[in-house]
């Protein structure tokens, strides 16, 4: 036991020779009024000394070497020494100044008076169990600077994390009162807390319904507009929700038929020919409505078709042979061609079926050494005659033949014939080399 006390003293001298902080005042009337401290050197303690006794007591306080405790005149009383973490007296309790330690917070770093820490440690290695040692032998085990952590007070609740409906609030506390240090334990428990918060119902933003169908074109012809719509009802905005974005309507250009239309056809023009196949035309007009698109009437404004309301008349004849009639008319009884039946081989007369221009040609052959005179004559219906042409022939050794031809204008019903002015009885037609012939045709019909 004696050894332990020696050990303790040694330990104390070596490990706790921390510098002290002492009150330091001169000439104060009461020690309690001193509030100035000073840092002492190693091996010094705090002292209190009476410097004067009358008329009023005066005191002095400060640092003094441990060895001068109780010496000097007046005696310097060592009243205690105070370590930075603890107030620990080193001299007799009688002389200690209680106020000295009140100056700062007393430390818990005092070994239990009921145990002998050195003995405990030598027997049970008590210092290795820090959590026990810190409460029983903190000083002996060198645990005075150990600090167990403790919670600071809770921070304020955060704002609700939502703007509508149900959300959460949180608050935080930190392990800083004090912060654990030098092997002290951390705080136990949660550093955060949550709670539910409720705000008003969330807004409902609007949504579009589907598009309606396109409306009919606004124009009945040419260009117009067609539109379609939608409504902000899917859903309808409520509780200050946003209206649907963009337009509730769409437009597009639509085209109807052309505004111009054909009017009725005009009547057909007359046929381009009076006989045979010709052409005829008709026209129509387009209603002249102005058009944005420039669409006029579609199709042609005229029509053409063939026309044929009568076959063309053919008038042509060719006859030969001879027969003389009284009145000096020669007939040509052998008919080779008689289109239009205008030539009568019995009477020798050609009768014009149409008014127009005609061509006629005649040839007459006579006996040898006979004079031949003939004319082509015409007459109107009352037979008043006109000479159209004449011919003469004479041959000493052979049969004289003379031709004659003419173009003349006739009216319907006019007659044309060959007139033998002399030698009517001496005509000659062999049927082979010598021919008496009469031929003619219609050149053109006049209106």
User: 42 or 444, CB closer to ligand NAG?
Assistant: 444
User: 341 or 386, CB closer to ligand NAG?
Assistant: 341
d(CA 252, CA 183): 82
Q: What is the DSSP string of 325-368?
A: ETTTEEE--EEEEEETT-EETTTTEEE-SSSEEEEEEEEEEB-T
Smallest distance, ligand NAG to C-beta of residue 373, A = 25
User: 69 or 101, CB closer to ligand NAG?
Assistant: 101
Binding site for ligand NAG (CB under 6 A): 33, 35, 263, 266, 270-271, 283-285, 307, 309-310, 344, 346-347
Smallest distance, ligand NAG to C-beta of residue 271, A = 4
d(CA 144, CA 222): 104
Q: What is the DSSP string of 408-426?
A: EEE-TT-EEEEEEEE-GGG
SS3 for 133? helix
Q: Name 377's bridge partners.
A: 387, 417
Smallest distance, ligand NAG to C-beta of residue 266, A = 3
From the number of C-beta atoms within 10 Å of its C-beta (0-12, 13-18, 19+), residue 192 rates as exposed
User: 177 or 306, CB closer to ligand NAG?
Assistant: 306
User: 255 or 344, CB closer to ligand NAG?
Assistant: 344
User: 182 or 310, CB closer to ligand NAG?
Assistant: 310
Smallest distance, ligand NAG to C-beta of residue 383, A = 12
- Chain residue whose CB lies nearest ligand NAG: 266
Smallest distance, ligand NAG to C-beta of residue 313, A = 11
Helices (H) and strands (E) in the chain, counts: 4, 25
User: 103 or 171, CB closer to ligand NAG?
Assistant: 103
DSSP element (H, E) containing 220 = none
Task: Taking each helix axis as running N to C, give the angle between helix 2-15 and helix 117-124, from 0 to 180 degrees, rounded to the nearest 10.
Answer: 100
SS3 for 99? helix
Smallest distance, ligand NAG to C-beta of residue 441, A = 19
Smallest distance, ligand NAG to C-beta of residue 363, A = 23
Whole-angstrom distance between the N-terminal and C-terminal Cα of the chain? 176
């Amino acid at each position: 036991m004696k050894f332990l006390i020696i050990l303790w003293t040694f330990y104390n001298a070596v490990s706790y020779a921390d510098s002290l902080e002492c009150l330091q005042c001169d000439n104060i009337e009461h020690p309690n009024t001193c509030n100035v401290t000073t840092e002492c050197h190693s091996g010094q303690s705090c002292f209190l000394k009476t410097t004067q006794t009358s008329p009023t007591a005066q005191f002095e306080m400060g640092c003094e070497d441990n060895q001068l405790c109780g010496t000097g005149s007046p005696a310097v009383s060592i009243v205690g020494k105070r370590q930075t973490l603890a107030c620990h007296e080193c001299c007799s309790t009688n002389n200690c100044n209680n106020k000295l330690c009140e100056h700062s917070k007393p430390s818990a770093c005092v070994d239990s008076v009921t145990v002998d820490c050195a003995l405990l440690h030598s027997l049970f290695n008590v210092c290795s169990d820090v959590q026990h040692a810190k409460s029983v032998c903190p000083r002996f085990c060198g645990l005075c600077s150990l600090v167990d952590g403790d919670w600071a007070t809770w921070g304020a609740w955060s704002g609700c994390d939502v703007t509508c409906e149900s959300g959460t609030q949180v608050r935080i506390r930190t392990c800083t009162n004090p912060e654990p240090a030098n092997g002290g334990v951390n705080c136990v428990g949660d550093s955060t807390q949550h709670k539910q918060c409720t705000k008003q119902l969330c807004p409902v933003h609007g949504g579009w319904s589907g598009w309606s169908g396109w409306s009919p074109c606004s124009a009945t012809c040419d260009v117009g507009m067609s539109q379609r719509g939608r409504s902000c009802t899917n859903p309808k905005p409520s509780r200050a929700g946003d209206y649907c974005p963009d337009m509730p309507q769409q437009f597009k250009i639509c085209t109807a038929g052309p505004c111009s239309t054909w009017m009725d056809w005009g009547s057909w023009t007359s046929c381009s020919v009076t006989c045979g196949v010709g052409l005829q035309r008709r026209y129509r007009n387009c209603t002249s409505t102005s058009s944005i698109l420039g669409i006029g009437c579609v199709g042609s404004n005229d029509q053409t078709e063939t026309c044929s309301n009568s076959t063309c008349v053919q008038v042509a004849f060719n006859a030969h042979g001879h027969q003389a009639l009284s009145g000096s008319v020669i007939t040509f009884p052998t008919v080779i061609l008689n289109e239009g039946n205008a030539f009568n081989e019995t009477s020798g007369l050609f009768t014009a079926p149409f008014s127009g221009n005609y061509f006629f040609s005649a040839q007459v052959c006579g006996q040898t050494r006979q004079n031949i005179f003939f004319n082509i004559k015409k007459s109107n219906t009352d037979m008043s005659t006109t000479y159209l042409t004449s011919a003469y022939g004479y041959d000493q050794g052979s049969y004289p033949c003379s031709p004659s031809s003419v173009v003349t204008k006739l009216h319907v019903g006019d007659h044309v014939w060959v007139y033998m002015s002399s030698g009517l009885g001496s005509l000659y037609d062999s049927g082979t080399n010598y021919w008496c012939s009469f031929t003619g045709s219609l050149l053109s019909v006049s209106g």
